[in-house]
Amino acid sequence: MTGKAGADAMPAGTTSGTPQVLLAHHLKQLKLPTVLREYDKIARECARDGVDHPRYLLRLVELALIDRERRMVERRIKAARFPAVKSLDTFDFTAIPSLNKMLLLELARCEFILRRENVIALGNSGTGKTHVGLALALAACQKGFTVAFTTAAALVHQLMEARDERRLLKLQRDLQSVMLLIVDELGYLPLSPTGAELLFEVFSQRYERGSTLVTSNLPFEDWTSVLGSERLTGALLDRLTHHVHILTMNGDSYRLKQSAGRRRPPPQPIGRSKTRPPPRPSIPRPAKPASPDPRGKADARQGARSGPLP
């Protein structure tokens, strides 16, 4: 199966060298690294198993396709600039009862991206909003969507810098073109009037063109304190929440729970198993109790103003 290509079968200008050397050269030119790496090994396997030429080629091409898809997922993950790679496999749903698990699992199928719908995760600090954002972002990369991950503060900084350097339009076009934009941590830092306007423009330009996922520690009613103007906040929420899924994530901070667990290790009496779980530390409940949205998909235009706030 290793094949013996005669010199007369070679294209003009490639008549010297052994077939393997030429094949390696051509496969590199064609950007088929998996075929180059695997063709000989698979040929031997096929010869051993009596597999014919078309099936040999099929095996090789299938392997090349799988490998290419894996590399593309890796490329999308790299381009998305995740601060960490997290998935729903490592997410403990029992730690956050206010979260609508069915809705999150449905979102992880990424059909909301095809429908250009938005997602907003609201809740106090440490409840897994960034984790969930990253997990949905990873799922999107795996399903072939382009993704960008940033924080509200970093995005505004980037926009202001681009404006000063007269490359704002290019950045805005780039931000508009990703299929899923994740803006994490809206609410920790108040934005300058210019920053708020630039952020509004991003959301506005993406409206019905691409999905945006925002995480915030603030309920909608408090977004004015970050964006400055009531008029701008209203207009921004209007666009962001027209087609939206709300993830309500109020509860105990997972970080606090973990560090409390580390500070107070469980007593290990002699003879007891060391794998016994530590006792649950008691964490004070947040001031604003959770109000999960039982419908999953919230009518946030209502929710943002008069409905039950997260």
Tell me how far, at minimum, the Cβ of 125 lies from ligand ADP, in Å: 4
Indicate the residue among 124 and 211 with the shorter CB distance to ligand ADP: 124
Output the CA angle 242-220-136, nearest 5 degrees. 65
Task: Give the interface size with ligand ADP as a residue count (CB under 6 A).
Answer: 15
Q: Which residue has the tokens 């290019």?
A: 170
Indicate the residue among 117 and 184 with the shorter CB distance to ligand ADP: 184
Query: Which of the stretches 3-11, 28-36, 86-94, 192-200 binds ligand ADP when contact is defined by CB under 6 A?
Result: 86-94
Binding residue for ligand ADP (CB under 6 A) from 8, 49, 92, 164? Answer: 92
Strand order in the sheet with 118-122: 147-151, 180-186, 211-216, 118-122, 244-248
Tell me how far, at minimum, the Cβ of 114 lies from ligand ADP, in Å: 26
Task: Name the binder of 128 from ligand ADP, Mg ion, none, CB < 5-8 A by kind.
Answer: ligand ADP
The answer to the question of residue 237 lying near ligand ADP (CB under 6 A) is: no
The answer to the question of residue 292 lying near ligand ADP (CB under 6 A) is: no
Indicate the residue among 63 and 154 with the shorter CB distance to ligand ADP: 154
> Would strands 118-122 and 211-216 be described as parallel, antiparallel, or unpaired?
parallel
Output the CA angle 184-190-194, nearest 5 degrees. 95
Indicate the residue among 198 and 310 with the shorter CB distance to ligand ADP: 310
The answer to the question of residue 233 lying near ligand ADP (CB under 6 A) is: no
Amino acid at 237: L
Task: Name the binder of 95 from ligand ADP, Mg ion, none, CB < 5-8 A by kind.
Answer: ligand ADP
Q: Give which of 106, 67, 208, 212 is closest to 150, Cα–Cα.
A: 212
Residues of span 126-165 touching ligand ADP by CB under 6 A: 126-131
What token pair was written down for 113? 């991206």
Helix boundaries (H) for 165-298: 168-177, 193-206, 224-227, 230-240, 254-263
CB-CB contact of 105 with 88 (8 Å): yes
The answer to the question of residue 217 lying near Mg ion (CB under 5 A) is: no
Indicate the length of the chain as a whole number.
310
User: For binding to ligand ADP (CB under 6 A), which residues are involved?
Assistant: 86, 90-92, 95-96, 125-131, 254-255
User: For binding to Mg ion (CB under 5 A), which residues are involved?
Assistant: 130
